[in-house]
Structure 1
């Protein structure tokens, strides 16, 4: 059963091959097995490639089946149509389109399996790229909010500095009226004189102003700090919202780019391996010697071609003979005197009738 299946995969005529030797049948079983396993490899590669795109098993399997059937049918068709000729160059020229297509297919289907084989190394590259993207994203988001945050911080610093300056002024006035009362500075007189009262009045006024400034500025500072908290919350929210996009940066294109950043030699050899697999059905047919099956197939084809050419030649002779016979028959008829007299009489009667009919019409118009 397996042998019959592989013969079917090879595209060979089963009935014709059954009359060949066991070795000839084994050759085509091998060619059919190569075609089949090439389709299996195409299914695995294409299914994995689509799985990395859709992250779903069912679309990947469906596409993999379609792709493998396409490759199977293409390989089977080309292998079955390659005829063993006297010159290898003619055979190779016949197989050239499939070889070119095999190169393209090998490059396409080798990439997904390379991605799977070097998955750990690719994940490392992607992790570095994601970390760099996350840092850049935080910087970009921070730069977006930076102007508002810096403005609020500068205003808070100004408000606090205003309170500090006023506190220094009040402390200075406090020290002035105390030293005036002690007689260590100012008028140098001990006691609470007019100058003392003037200085303590300035201090009390400045202290009242300080309370007012402190009260108003603290309210403003609280508002600015709340605004900063809101801005910081918006910044964190923006970073949190964009992080899933960065975390999802592991699609097919991202992995192909990451694969390109790894050493290229292993990928090159894997691609060559798939190229060898893809071209193996064609190579197997090209390298196989002309065998019993090829001779029998050639015999059938040449026999059919000879029969068709004979039939065509006979039909052309039949046409020529029939034409010659008809020409002679009509020539003999044309030379018959009795038939000529009859034809002349009938033509005369016809002309008379036409003339009489024309005359009647002319009379009616008068």
Structure 2
């Protein structure tokens, strides 16, 4: 039962192979088993690859099954269409397009399994890339807010410097009128005279200006700080909103690119393994000697070709004979006076009717 299933997988003619030796049946059962297990590996590889895309087990298995059946059908077709002619050059030329197709299939099959085999290494590469993307993302978002924040910070500093400058000026007036009262500066007279009063009034006026300036600038500073706080909140919100996109950067294309960052030699050997598996049915048939099945298959093909040629030749002979007979029949008829006279009569009547119709039409027009 199992042997019969693998024989069907090989794409061979079961009716012909049934009358061949056990060794010939085992050979094609082996080729069919290779075709089946290659398709099975394609099913596993495609299911994993699609699982990384859809993140749904049933969807991945469904599409993987379709892909496995497609590979099975292609491999079965490739193997079944290679004919053993006994000339290795002709067979290689015949199989070359199929070998190229097998190489492409091997690449498609091996890549998802490489992703699974090197999953830990790929995850490390993806983690490094995500960290780089996170830093770059923060810098890009910061470029939208930093100029405004820096401008507001500069305004706050200018407002504070204005207060400090004014405060230093007021303190200087204070020290001046105190020194005047103590007789250390100015008139050098101890006591609160007219000069002292003048300097005291100047200080009090500037102190009032300072208080007004402090209130005004303080309100501006509070407003600027509130705006800075809002910008920082917006920045954090933008970073938080965009971070899930970076965290989900682990799809199929991202993993394939991450695989390309790893050393190429292990991946190359895995590709060679699947290339051997995929091309093994083809080379098994190419390298195997022309067997009993091939002889019988070519014999049946030759019989069918000969029969088709005979049928075509017969149809051509019938057609040629029929043409010759028709030529003779119509040649004999063309010489009969009765047929000539009848056709002449019909032609005369037809011409009369055409002339009458033309006359009636011209009369209506006039």
Q: TM-score, structure 1 length as denominator?
A: 0.86
Which residue in the other structure is 2:196 paired with? 196
Which residue in the other structure is 1:178 paired with? 178
Report if the CA contact (8 A) 2:10-2:80 is conserved: yes
Which residue in the other structure is 1:259 paired with? 259
Which residue in the other structure is 1:83 paired with? 83
Q: Deviations over 1:290-343 (max 9, x none)?
A: 112122222222233334444555666667778889999999x99xxxxx9xx7
Which residue in the other structure is 2:127 paired with? 127
User: Cα offset for 1:56?
Assistant: 2.4
Q: Deviations over 1:16-56 (max 9, x none)?
A: 22222211111111000011011111112222222222222
Which residue in the other structure is 2:295 paired with? 295
**Cα distance, 1:19–1:199 mapped onto 2, change above 3 Å:** same
- 1:246 aligns to 2:241 (yes or no): no
Which residue in the other structure is 1:337 paired with? none
Note the residue ranges of structure 2 that are not aligned, 5 or more in a row: 354-366
**Cα distance, 1:86–1:222 mapped onto 2, change above 3 Å:** same
- 1:47 aligns to 2:50 (yes or no): no
**Cα distance, 1:213–1:38 mapped onto 2, change above 3 Å:** same
Following the alignment from structure 2 to structure 1, what is the Cα–Cα distance between the partners of residues 327 and 184? 159
Note the residue ranges of structure 1 that are not aligned, 5 or more in a row: 335-339, 362-366
Which residue in the other structure is 1:234 paired with? 234
Following the alignment from structure 1 to structure 2, what is the Cα–Cα distance between the partners of residues 254 and 347? 88
Alignment of 1:76-225 (within 5 A): 76-225=76-225
**Cα distance, 1:294–1:178 mapped onto 2, change above 3 Å:** same
Following the alignment from structure 1 to structure 2, what is the Cα–Cα distance between the partners of residues 263 and 327? 81
Which residue in the other structure is 2:36 paired with? 36
SS at match of 1:185: coil
Q: Deviations over 1:210-264 (max 9, x none)?
A: 1111111111111110011011111111111111111121122221211111111
Q: TM-score, structure 2 length as denominator?
A: 0.86
Which residue in the other structure is 1:364 paired with? none
**Cα distance, 1:102–1:213 mapped onto 2, change above 3 Å:** same
SS at match of 1:204: helix
User: Cα offset for 1:101?
Assistant: 0.9
Following the alignment from structure 2 to structure 1, what is the Cα–Cα distance between the partners of residues 217 and 327? 128
SS at match of 2:85: coil
Which residue in the other structure is 1:305 paired with? 305
**Cα distance, 1:275–1:181 mapped onto 2, change above 3 Å:** same
Q: Please identify the structure whose Cα radius of gyration is greater.
A: 1
Which residue in the other structure is 2:10 paired with? 10
**Cα distance, 1:279–1:350 mapped onto 2, change above 3 Å:** closer
**Cα distance, 1:259–1:195 mapped onto 2, change above 3 Å:** same
Q: Deviations over 1:268-300 (max 9, x none)?
A: 111111211221221111112211212222222
Which residue in the other structure is 1:285 paired with? 285
Report if the CA contact (8 A) 2:86-2:290 is conserved: no
Following the alignment from structure 1 to structure 2, what is the Cα–Cα distance between the partners of residues 288 and 97? 19
**Cα distance, 1:325–1:241 mapped onto 2, change above 3 Å:** closer
Aligned residue pairs, count: 349
Which residue in the other structure is 2:360 paired with? none
Which residue in the other structure is 2:362 paired with? none
Q: Deviations over 1:109-160 (max 9, x none)?
A: 3222211111111111111111111111111111211121111111110111
Q: Is the deviation greater in 47-56 or in 4-13?
A: 47-56
**Cα distance, 1:194–1:300 mapped onto 2, change above 3 Å:** same
